[in-house]
Structure 1
């Protein structure tokens, strides 16, 4: 699943192509918004919050979430698309460029004044100008018995982290992902590490994993073979609670498992 850094970079590409430009093409290929026509409107801004992306005109905010497979790509007018046309969910075009959203998991067209409803439930954005580590820390500590690896994925705590970066952050802080939040020795340092990792991934060269996807390879610090285990998280669904498990990568020597 694309994480906050990928959405941040996608917003940056769309901003360069669309911001300040008049839309000459508006094609929403989802039934609910099939009649929406933004042609003639100027794109005032493009931004992201966690894993959410917004393209804003003077009247509406086009809200999208990539979910598992989605992507935004920008093409010159007339350029051949690099993904099948049937995968396109939105096409926004100007005189010179086409921004195409492929396989988007969520598409909404909101009134500008209602945009906040899409993100009110989220914690502070790790890559936003309003990043608030104190608020993130407060939200994390409200559930001290939750494994830190689960808490980092909960977008209500801090917005932007996915399965890759939770393993990377815990590894850098020598914290086992299954350790309860209340037992993490220096939680403020871990929160700061999360922001540092995400910022570097969004603004620097592509992030090279230290542990994620590297099970059985030697730890860079101590040489111990890295491990992968499954860590479950509660998923409310139709008045019932189910569990979804994802892989956590860690060093069994540097990151001592909880008892």
Structure 2
């Protein structure tokens, strides 16, 4: 599932292409929305909230989309061939100069702009909220510490704690904190550092497609542990280990260095934590 910075960048690009422009074509190919035609509407704004996107129109409605695992928005010049099959398109928003196509958008809803909170009001503070303040930090910290009996990696992924962290940043935050992802939240020495680090990493990559946590953009040098199973740790040389964290459909592959990140770890056989 895309990280919050990917969704933020998608919103930024859609806003630049569509905001203030009249839609000449506004097709919604979702089964529940096929009767709606947005042609003639003007796009007012495109906003991201965590991993959610809202495209706002001048009739007081918003189009909500969530990319999930395989969704994406592409931008084209009118008449350009699409890079994905037309049958995968769920939304087509076209102005005189640009065409935005939403592919494989499983979650798509048209709702009053005033009711956007119905879909995102349960989320924790958005780490990329341009109005981020000390109050946002305090609220994220309160929600984090309230999950004391949960594992750090799972708390970082919990959008109700703070919105925007995906599996990439979960792994990298745990490494940079020097903590096993299976450390209980109540055992994290400095929870505020976890919140600050998560926001800093997202901000660092918010305006570019490349996601680097090491400060390097070269291929293969961008991450500390994420997607580096079996490779040597960049700091100590220990081989990076992998295991799944979470249950059932919520299980996510996890990478960590057992030397740089001491603490609880799973057994390969059961997945249970051992000390």
Q: TM-score range by the shorter chain?
A: over 0.9
Query: In 1, distance between residues paired with 2:161 and 2:87?
Result: 36
Contact 1:124 1:130 (8 Å CA) reproduced? no
Residue 175 of structure 2 is matched in structure 1 by: 171
The TM-score normalised by the length of structure 1 is 0.94
Match for 1:248 among 221, 245, 254? 254
**What is residue 114 of structure 1 aligned with on the other side?**
115
* Aligned equivalents of 1:173, 1:149: Cα separation in 2: 12
CA distance in 1, matches of 2:209, 2:56: 28
Contact 2:244 2:254 in 1 (8 A): yes
| Whole-angstrom distance in 2 between the partners of 1:219 and 1:143 | 29
SS in 2 for 1:15: helix
Aligned alpha-carbon RMSD (Å): 1.2
What is the distance in 1 between the residues matched to 2:108 and 2:209? 29
Q: Which residue of 1 aligns with 2:65?
A: 64
Deviation at 1:244, TM superposition (A): 3.5
Matches within 5 A, 1:52-91: 52-58=52-58, 59-91=60-92
Matches within 5 A, 1:212-251: 212-233=226-247, 244-251=250-257
Aligned match of 1:237: none
How far apart, CA to CA, are the structure 1 residues paired with 2:242 and 2:204?
Answer: 25
**Shift of residue 257, structure 1, vs aligned partner:** 2.2
Question: Which segments of structure 1 move beyond 4 Å, counting only runs of 4 or more?
Answer: none
Give the SS at the match of 2:56: strand
Residues of 1 paired with 2:106 and 2:172: CA distance? 25
Aligned residues: 251
Shift of 1:41: 1.3
Q: Distance in 2 between matches of 1:173 and 1:193?
A: 8
Deviates more, 1:37-46 or 1:88-97: 37-46
From the superposition, tell whether residues 75 and 249 of structure 1 become closer, same or farther in structure 2 (CA, over 3 Å): same
Secondary structure of 2:251's counterpart equals strand
Give the unaligned 5+ runs of structure 1.
234-241
Structure with more of its chain in strand, by fraction: 1
With over 3 angstroms needed to count, the CA separation of the structure-2 counterparts of 1:205 and 1:107, relative to structure 1, is closer
Partners of 1:124 and 1:105 lie apart in 2 by 24
